[in-house]
Amino acid sequence: MEILISILVGVALMEGYVWLDPLAKWLIHRAARQLPDKSREALIEQWTADLEAMPNSLAKIVFAFCNCTLDVGNISDEICRETFEAMADKVDELIEGRMVVLDQALQQSITRLQENERPGAKLISALNSSLVRLECLEKNANDDARKAINHFRAVSPSITAPFSEFCAQLDQSQAKLETLMIGFRQSVALVAETSQRVRDRLLDDTPLDDDSDGQQLADLFTERVENVTKAIHDLWDYLSTNNVVAPQNIAPKLKVVVDALKAAASAVKQG
């Protein structure tokens, strides 16, 4: 009877031992289901390799239970922290590098708009001032001088009108670009502030995966990064589709106006 019992116990132990390897693998897969999707496959592969390196099935069970099942919370938190830190590093790198360059490029665009507007505005001002001076002298001018002044008055709009429209377009472009820049800078500032909040949160030992505030912070971070991306797209779309073009074929018209001005001034002087 004792021999039979010993045989049965031995068979039971052998059967149980056979199931230890599958049980260890089941434990690591069960633990992996509690991890983020993007890290799950890599950790299953790593843990499986660690299992194969164990000297026996009992060691595999101990590893799967202690290093995987019991430690999965710490592993998950470590993954979350690495993700948060990588996000903060990436955003800080963008802000300190490309965002600064982009901001400088936008400021240069506004400066160019102002420089393009200045000559047109000066020309319009000069023509208007000349017309005002000639009109002041018109009362005492002779008929030839009046005709010359009227001719200058008639041809001036061919220059002042398109340049006025051009300057107005430049003003609108500058105002729009400045508004977009304000939105862009505000978005960048909010991302930078959130990045600092992430780093402050990483100094706290409270597990991130068990912390609803941590998830809210991650969602906020993602939202603000998306806002910066949208602001950049808006700026790019505006710059690529709203090029303000100077009046075309303006040189011949300008010559006519200048000649008329000279003729009017000469006629007034002679009169």
Highest mean pLDDT among 114-123, 152-161, 235-244, 246-255: 152-161
pLDDT tens readout for residues 97-113: 767 777 777 787 778 87
Domains of the chain, residue spans? 2-70, 77-270
Task: Quote the pLDDT of residue 1.
Answer: 42
Task: Quote the pLDDT of residue 199.
Answer: 85
Categorize the per-residue pLDDT at 191 as very low, low, confident or very high, splitting at 50, 70 and 90: confident
Task: Quote the pLDDT of residue 7.
Answer: 38
Categorize the per-residue pLDDT at 243 as very low, low, confident or very high, splitting at 50, 70 and 90: low
At 256, the amino acid letter reads V
**Could you identify the residue written with the tokens 């995966």?**
209
Identify the CATH number of the domain defined by range 77-270.
1.20.1260
Interatomic CA distance for residues 244 and 113, integer angstroms: 9
Task: Quote the pLDDT of residue 12.
Answer: 37
**Could you identify the residue written with the tokens 């005709």?**
147
From first CA to last CA, the distance across the chain in angstroms is: 147
Categorize the per-residue pLDDT at 8 as very low, low, confident or very high, splitting at 50, 70 and 90: very low
Beta carbons of 153 and 268 less than 8 angstroms apart: no
Task: Quote the pLDDT of residue 112.
Answer: 80
Residue 13 predicted with pLDDT over 60: no
> 106 versus 244: which is more confidently predicted?
106
Task: Quote the pLDDT of residue 244.
Answer: 65
pLDDT tens readout for residues 193-215: 888 888 888 888 877 765 566 67
Alpha helix stretches (DSSP H) within the chain: 2-18, 20-32, 37-52, 57-63, 72-94, 100-138, 143-155, 157-202, 212-241, 250-270
Interatomic CA distance for residues 61 and 233, integer angstroms: 53
Task: Quote the pLDDT of residue 16.
Answer: 42
Phi first, then psi: what are they for 107, rounded to 5°?
A: -65, -35
Distances in Å between the alpha carbon of 206 and those of 23, 200, 201, 220? 32, 12, 9, 19
DSSP annotation of 245:
P
Categorize the per-residue pLDDT at 238 as very low, low, confident or very high, splitting at 50, 70 and 90: confident
Task: Quote the pLDDT of residue 91.
Answer: 78
Name the nearest CA neighbour of 195 among 105, 74, 73, 99.
99
Highest mean pLDDT among 7-21, 79-93, 133-147, 151-165: 151-165
Both structure tokens of 20? 């230890």
Run of H or E including 19: none
